[in-house]
């Protein structure tokens, strides 16, 4: 059952992302890298002086391109234990570059060490949802890609954590910023591919009557992809019953 907060989120499309925020001169934080073509968010990287995050500065600071790493191009983390210990703090950081790095570590752990992260998945998901709500498109899209990898890795094991992710992905897939919208649609495809339809369909059903027509449309597409999978499962079960 959706909370009132989730319903408010669902019925309010997100505002356009803030762009080109200024930052002070100093040594740049480690850049967030990946593969991209047109899917690049050109934003100023957070800067630090003597280890402290700086405030706003005047014009003239060079831009940094933020790119996105496809799942198949991700490499394993260097140290599993260190990655796990620093993961929550990284996801909850106020530095958006650190958050993006932590999100990519969630993706790496989901792909290469999913059992190791299973115990903290309940703490990870709310922070991924927080990043999905982030007005900076680099953080938002990386969080969307993270959600897709989580669906692929954990399948039905994350069904109890699905609702807040589903709300945000339906919202993001319904907004006007194309590259965020397309990423969210891919994540929804991953969800319908990896989560059992018998568990997923009840989660989708309330959104089919949502007041927002875009939300209804996206939910209907997910529903239509899940129903044939359910039919195939039922046929297999029927054949097994007849065989026995």
Measuring CA to CA, how many Å separate 114 from each of 17, 59, 103, 107, 150?
A: 32, 44, 14, 9, 9
Helix (H) or strand (E) holding 219: helix 213-243
pLDDT at 61 over 60: no
Q: Is 95 exposed, middle or buried (0-12, 13-18, 19+ CB in 10 A)?
A: middle
Give the structural domain span for 61.
4-243
Residue with tokens 């891919």: 186
Q: Is 95 helix (H, G, I), strand (E, B) or coil?
A: coil
Q: Model confidence over 137-168: pLDDT tens digits?
A: 999 999 999 999 999 999 999 999 999 999 99
For the record, the structure tokens of 174 come out as: 């319904």
pLDDT at 13 over 80: no
Q: Which residues are CB-contacts of 35 (< 8 A; sequence separation ≥ 6)?
A: 67, 68, 69, 70, 73
Half-sphere exposure of 35 (CA within 13 A, CB side): 7
The residues that bridge with 27 in the sheet, in sequence order, are 48
**How many Cβ atoms are within 10 Å of 17's Cβ, its own excluded?**
18
* Total domains in the fold of the chain: 1
Rg, the chain, Cα only: 19
Q: Model confidence over 164-198: pLDDT tens digits?
A: 999 999 999 998 889 999 999 999 999 999 999 99
- Which pLDDT score, from 0 to 100, does residue 206 have? 94
- Whole-model pTM over 0.95: no
pLDDT at 135 over 60: yes
**How many Cβ atoms are within 10 Å of 19's Cβ, its own excluded?**
12
Q: What is the CATH number of the domain that holds 129?
A: 1.25.10.10
- Answer with the residue of higher pLDDT: 243 or 74: 74
């Amino acid at each position: 059952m959706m909370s009132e907060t989730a319903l408010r989120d669902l019925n309010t499309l997100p505002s356009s992302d803030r762009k080109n925020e200024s930052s002070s001169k100093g040594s740049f934080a480690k850049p967030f890298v990946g593969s991209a073509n047109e899917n690049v968010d050109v934003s100023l990287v957070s800067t630090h002086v003597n280890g402290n995050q700086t405030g706003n500065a005047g014009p003239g600071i060079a831009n940094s391109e933020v790119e996105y790493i496809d799942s198949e191009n991700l490499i394993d983390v260097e140290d599993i234990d260190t990655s796990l210990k620093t993961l929550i703090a990284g996801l909850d950081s106020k530095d958006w570059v650190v958050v993006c790095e932590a999100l990519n570590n969630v993706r790496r752990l989901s792909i290469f060490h999913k059992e190791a992260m299973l115990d903290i998945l309940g703490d990870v998901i709310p922070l991924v949802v927080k990043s999905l709500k982030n007005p900076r498109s680099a953080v938002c899209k990386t969080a969307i890609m993270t959600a897709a990898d989580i669906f692929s890795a954990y399948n039905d094991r994350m069904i109890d954590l699905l609702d807040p992710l589903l709300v945000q992905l339906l919202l993001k897939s319904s907004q006007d910023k194309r590259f965020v919208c397309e990423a969210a649609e891919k994540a929804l495809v991953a969800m319908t591919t990896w989560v059992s339809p018998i568990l997923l369909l009840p989660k989708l059903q309330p959104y089919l009557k949502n007041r927002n027509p875009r939300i209804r449309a996206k939910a209907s597409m997910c529903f239509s992809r899940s129903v044939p999978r359910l039919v195939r499962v039922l046929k297999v079960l029927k054949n097994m019953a007849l065989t026995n």
